[in-house]
Structure 1
Amino acid sequence: MSAGAFGVAGIAILLALLMLRVPVAFAMFLVGFIGIWILNGWNAAMGLLGSETFTLASNPELVIIPLFILMGNVASHTGMSRQLYDAAYALIGQIRGGLASATVIGCGGFAALSGSSVASALTMGKVSLAEMERFEYDPRLSTGVVAAGGTLGILIPPSTGFVIYAILTEQSIGRLFLAGVLPGLLLLAAFVLTITLMCWLRPAFGPAGPSTTMAQKRRAMLGAAPILTVIMLTIGGIYAGFFSPTEAAGVGAGFVIIYGIAIGKLGPRAFWAACKDSIVTTATVMLILIAAHMINPFLALSHVPSFVGEFLAALDLGVTGTLIAILFVYMVLGCFLEGFAMLVLTLPIFFPVIVELGIDPIWFGVLVVLTLEMGLISPPVGINVFIVKSVAPGVELGQIFRGVLPFWLAMIVTLATLIAFPQISLILPDTMFN
């Protein structure tokens, strides 16, 4: 059997293992290790396992992952997510569909603390779903907006997705973080516009909430000041050149810890719970990265990336056509695979093609991460939909999937806009480095 045939067989086995719900890291490790063993010998496979594990574990750039995860977990335990939602609620809750729009804004703000889509959906679901139920929002809108709004966690920096993309493609984490800011805000605005249109076309979907006085608005905004401060310290500090991404993660985590202790909401038990959650999440990410560095050499040895590049070149789709074809593959895979698994599995195959075509890797990273977001609400996997289902057990799963459809279409429009206008993604990183 040729090396290429081994590569295709390895990918097929990997997909089968993932569909059988074998953990992503173990499936990739198994296929990668055995593939290298077959193609390059036992000593090469064992040597790569030892060297890559040590290299990743000693990479100082990866410190950013546990620090940002800790920042998000501490913020959740100290109630900062609730304060952000209350501020948005006070400002726009009185308009039709205002509570749903406040939820999206809250998701966007919490995304800038946690970098996790699942955490954003879970946290904001607990905060906002009961409130929207109290004002008789249609369950399709209330659950759909939480599931879709949670996806902002993987696009608005700090994003774990950007960190993994940067590690796998050897790109700048700082540039990727800044590249995600404007697209994240654009998608947030598209979600708010979608809510407004839905409530305008069908007023019963989202009735108006209670009005608030100017004094209440000021108090709510004052309550959100700590979150806004953290965002300015981290993202603003990276843009201004005061901090590296790793330093910004340390500053942000330190700030929320000190704030939580100062207001008396971060005792030893809550801090331990936040640390334990952060350790589990970090270990999961690290295992995936180690497995990625096992399967990538196997794909290279089997020449699968070369075959894919030659196939796409033979189609003669042009640069834009090839880019759209690759993104379409991500959309299809997103219906069945978890986002990190897609990144690790596909980047070794598609990234050389992107480089060969002269496509900006930072821009491509934003497009890929946005496409991964779509997978978070796409059936049948749609992990954010199942997260919302766990928070709202009384709502049928089919209703939630119908509720996310308008937001999925808004993502398509945003993706098309970013493809048509690359500078939306590139203006901030280009400004920072120029």
Structure 2
Amino acid sequence: MIIASVLTLLALLVLSVPVAATLIVLALVIDYFFSSFPLYLALGDVLWSASNSFLLIAIPLFILLGELLVRSGVAKNTYMALESWLSWLPGGLLHANVGTATFFSATSGSSVATSATVGTVALPQGKLLGYDSRLFTGSIAAGGTLGIMIPPSINLIVYGFITETSIPKLFAASLIPGLMLATIFVVGTAVICSLYPSMGGPKRTHSWAERFRGLVELLPVLSLFVIVVGSIYAGWATPTEAAAIGVAGALVLAAFFRTLSMKMLFDALEGTMKTTGMIMLIIVASYFLNFVLASSGVTREISAFIGASGLDAFSTLLLIIALYIVLGFFLETLSLMVITLPIVAPVIISLGYDPLWFGVLVILLIEMALITPPVGLNLYVVQGVRREGSLNDVMIGAAPYVLMMVIMGILLIAFPNIALYLPGVLG
């Protein structure tokens, strides 16, 4: 039954059937052939229970927050401020790409929104100054992945919803790894550009007066981050309520920068509805598939197979990591999460691994999938913003950052407290 399920899933994906439809069809096929009870009769109840959660309201709110920031001009001001502080390093503007992605990740919660925003602001600058297109675009694609690691993160909310793990604790667990990964990107970029100066660009120097004036431009993003995340840990708001506060703050910023208009609001709401509709349909479809898998015994078979394999806990973890890396080449990241987590997470947790730590590790593996072909979504987003040259340039430029993520993964496995320290301190 396991093999038949996997083959059906792969066949539907190869035929380019939409992911949500694929999950529903696969569930109905498994129900028809392997269940003695017509589980499709529970379809309505399962879909309603999956979507009837106050926590899920946070998803469209965080998406709307990112949409408003994209259209308010905050991202451009942030980029120019960070450029004055970071462009003296080997690689020049490449570090501003990573730095802006880090700041924008602290409010957007989406890797796609982060990549698109930084790409829109940075690519004209890189072209004007004659930067190598490969590493420049690769740094934007890789920096965009931080959008799902640094809180608030939509993918972390989905992980917490599926595994019933505390969202505030997940946000706390991911903060230090996210900042560490951004630092590794900066250090790695500096090393590459020191060894191969042609891959970077001209260093740019700014006076201290210019740098300190630029700090004012960072205040809007920092203020939103403190308001959204701080209100959660102060106990003043739930993640959903904090997202609503963030949207209100973004509207105030847009009004302050005089970019707030009916057209801007309409565009932001339209983008939010499109993205939210896609995410929610995948989530509720995956819930029905998981219900069918559990009811028909597939989940038990997989757990029994792993238990009978004779692998120890660490070997099982390495097997699951390899599974995510391979599937990440072919599956869209959110789909990869909702398909695998209901099966993989209980196994990992039963072996004694902390669900908070595993959540951060999964997000890191998902980040790798965002910049690995042939389905690396961030690669296509950056190329779409670029609108010239070849997609191969972006793929080649992102390759060194995949290796940097591998280094981060090794550190996370070797030192789990990287993820667990902050949740422990915050209680």
Which amino acid counterpart does residue 107 of structure 1 have in structure 2? Answer: A
Which amino acid counterpart does residue 196 of structure 1 have in structure 2? Answer: A
Contact 1:187 1:411 in 2 (8 A): yes
Matched, 1:13 2:8: yes
For residue 43 of structure 2, what is the aligned residue in structure 1?
Answer: 49
Matched, 1:85 2:79: yes
Q: Give the drift of 1:43.
A: 5.4
C-alpha separation between the residues in 1 aligned to 2:90 and 2:3? 53
Contact 1:143 1:400 in 2 (8 A): yes
SS of the residue corresponding to residue 89 of structure 2 reads: coil
Contact 1:36 1:297 in 2 (8 A): no
Matched, 1:374 2:372: no
Size of the aligned set, in residue pairs, is 427
Contact 1:304 1:349 in 2 (8 A): no
C-alpha separation between the residues in 2 aligned to 1:152 and 1:95? 21
Q: Where do 5+ consecutive residues of structure 2 fail to align?
A: none
Counterpart pick for 2:127 among 133, 139, 142: 133
For residue 309 of structure 1, what is the aligned residue in structure 2?
Answer: 303
Task: List per-residue Cα deviations over 1:268-312 (Å, max 9, x = no partner).
Answer: 110111011111111111101110111001211332222222332
Which amino acid counterpart does residue 413 of structure 2 have in structure 1? Answer: I
For residue 264 of structure 2, what is the aligned residue in structure 1?
Answer: 270
- Higher alpha-carbon deviation: 308-317 or 319-328: 308-317
Q: Give the drift of 1:40.
A: 4.4
Matched, 1:402 2:396: yes
SS of the residue corresponding to residue 236 of structure 2 reads: coil
Contact 2:47 2:288 in 1 (8 A): no
Runs of 4+ in 1 over 4 A off after TM superposition: 37-43
- Higher alpha-carbon deviation: 10-19 or 414-423: 10-19
TM-score (norm 1): 0.94
- Higher alpha-carbon deviation: 52-61 or 160-169: 52-61
Contact 1:305 1:352 in 2 (8 A): no
Matched, 1:173 2:164: no
Counterpart pick for 1:111 among 94, 99, 105: 105
Contact 1:33 1:294 in 2 (8 A): no
Q: Give the drift of 1:92.
A: 1.5
C-alpha separation between the residues in 2 aligned to 1:127 and 1:322? 43
- Higher alpha-carbon deviation: 371-380 or 27-36: 27-36
Change (3 A) 1:209 1:271: farther
Among all aligned residue pairs of Structure 1 and Structure 2, give the percentage whose two residues are the same amino acid.
38
- Higher alpha-carbon deviation: 70-79 or 173-182: 173-182
Q: Give the drift of 1:57.
A: 3.1
CA RMSD of aligned residues (A): 1.6
SS of the residue corresponding to residue 265 of structure 1 reads: coil
Q: Give the drift of 1:314.
A: 3.2
Which amino acid counterpart does residue 33 of structure 1 have in structure 2? Answer: L
Contact 2:92 2:204 in 1 (8 A): no
C-alpha separation between the residues in 1 aligned to 2:89 and 2:262? 41
Counterpart pick for 2:17 among 2, 17, 22: 22
C-alpha separation between the residues in 2 aligned to 1:321 and 1:257? 49
Q: Give the drift of 1:395.
A: 2.6
SS of the residue corresponding to residue 180 of structure 1 reads: helix
Task: List per-residue Cα deviations over 1:293-338 (Å, max 9, x = no partner).
Answer: 1100121133222222233233333222211210110000000111
C-alpha separation between the residues in 1 aligned to 2:34 and 2:11? 21
Change (3 A) 1:41 1:261: farther
For residue 227 of structure 2, what is the aligned residue in structure 1?
Answer: 233
Which amino acid counterpart does residue 201 of structure 2 have in structure 1? Answer: P
